[in-house]
Amino acid sequence: MSVADADRRIRALRPPKRSVDPTRAHGSLLETERRPDGGVERAFTVFLAGAECPFTCSFCDLWQWTLDGPTPPGALVAQLERELASLPSPYPDRLKLYTASNFFDRRAVPREDWPALARLAAPFKAVTVESHASTIGAATLELARALGADRSLEVAVGLETIHPGAMAQLNKRLELARFDAAARTLAGEGIDLRAFVLLGAPFVPVDESVTWTVRTVEHAAACGAAVVSIIPVRGGNGEMERLRALGAFTPPTLAQLEAALDRCLGIERVVVAADLWDVALLPACEVCRAQRIERLERINLSGRAEPRIACDACREASVT
């Protein structure tokens, strides 16, 4: 099947899109996260409303938070101004600008908005944006210059999985060599790399899911990633339900997320954290679920191993 055919099939299975207002961000949140130097950093994450990503990944559910057409010039600036107005002082160390797309795609982030966005980012010491590996290049270096020498730039890139069969079937249009080249470009310019890695990626055998997640984190770390987020794959976009019916996708569990994070804690020079967005929806024992989520929250901040929660009701402590 061609890429265009795969795009059409995936899009045809999607439920109706949400109504998205280009004048308002979807929201924002204050976060605290560990950094590779051992310190703990406060970050302000803003979920901006912009154009949809041109890559139709099979596992993606972010399209529902995007506009149907290009982002209107000035819209992101207005959204960010509104969110910053509610931010109490002193400002956190980091500003994360997440667009559910690619920051270096002109349809998603109009280039004429960059000066105003850089001005709004001036009070922060560091800025994080997200991008597909293939859009990292000259524009990335231009953004770093626009932000100025006083603040560092970090680019979050989806690596997803290095499982060779699965990687080729995610419809992401990403080869491992392209990710590696993007990582080298960022490292050569002193720009930090944050990587997203999937747990439960489709086409990865369920009994190998944790192992391939750990291997993918190790690869990201070897490429110089400062931070790696392990993201459990979510259903609900239509395509994942189709793949589940075919036996090509099994929703990940809370126990698998714990096992993956535990096995990554020994990887050097990188912060590995479990993404806890919608973590309460992961299949798990209801008796010990809350305790186990609290344990993940502590490990995300400390980076230190903790004993698994022992539960007579499910015996999840034995899962590896």
Q: Which residues contact 3 (CB under 8 A, 6 or more apart)?
A: 171, 173
The pLDDT tens digits of the residues spanning 26-74 come to: 999 999 999 998 899 999 999 999 999 999 999 999 999 999 999 999 9
Instruction: Please tell me the least confidently modeled range out of 87-91, 123-127, 179-183, 230-234.
Output: 87-91
Separation CA 204–CA 11 (nearest Å): 22
Report whether 124 contacts 152 (CB < 8 A): no
Q: What pTM did the predictor assign?
A: 0.95
Separation CA 105–CA 140 (nearest Å): 11
Q: What is the dihedral of CA 138, 140, 145, 146, to 10 degrees?
A: 120
Q: What are phi and psi of 16, to 5 degrees?
A: -60, 145
Query: Token match 């006083």: residue?
Result: 150
Separation CA 167–CA 176 (nearest Å): 8
Q: Which residues contact 286 (CB under 8 A, 6 or more apart)?
A: none
Give the orientation angle of helix 254-264 with respect to helix 289-302, to 10 degrees: 20
Q: How many H-runs (helices) and E-runs (strands) does the chain carry?
A: 10, 8
Query: Token match 């609290």: residue?
Result: 294
Q: Which two tokens stand for residue 291?
A: 């305790």
Confidence (pLDDT) at 318: 44
Query: Token match 């794959």: residue?
Result: 233
Separation CA 240–CA 13 (nearest Å): 9
The pLDDT tens digits of the residues spanning 187-219 come to: 999 999 999 999 999 999 999 999 999 999 999
Report whether 220 contacts 272 (CB < 8 A): no
Query: Token match 């960022």: residue?
Result: 186
Task: Give percent above pLDDT 70 in the chain.
Answer: 98
Is the peptide bond preceding residue 252 cis, with omega within 30 degrees of 0? no
- β-strands 126-130, 152-160: how paired? parallel
Closest CA to 239 of 202, 206, 197, 207: 202
Kindly indicate the confidence band of residue 316, based on its pLDDT and cuts at 50, 70 and 90.
Answer: low
Look over the chain and give the mean of its residue pLDDT values, rounded to a whole number. Answer: 95
What is residue 53's DSSP assignment?
P
Kindly indicate the confidence band of residue 186, based on its pLDDT and cuts at 50, 70 and 90.
Answer: very high
Residue type, 75: A
The pLDDT tens digits of the residues spanning 153-175 come to: 999 999 999 999 999 999 999 99
Kindly indicate the confidence band of residue 317, based on its pLDDT and cuts at 50, 70 and 90.
Answer: very low
List the domains of the chain with CATH numbers. 3-318 (3.20.20.70)
Which alpha helices (H) appear in the chain, and where do they start and end?
3-12, 75-85, 114-121, 138-147, 164-167, 176-188, 209-222, 239-245, 254-264, 289-302
Separation CA 269–CA 280 (nearest Å): 29
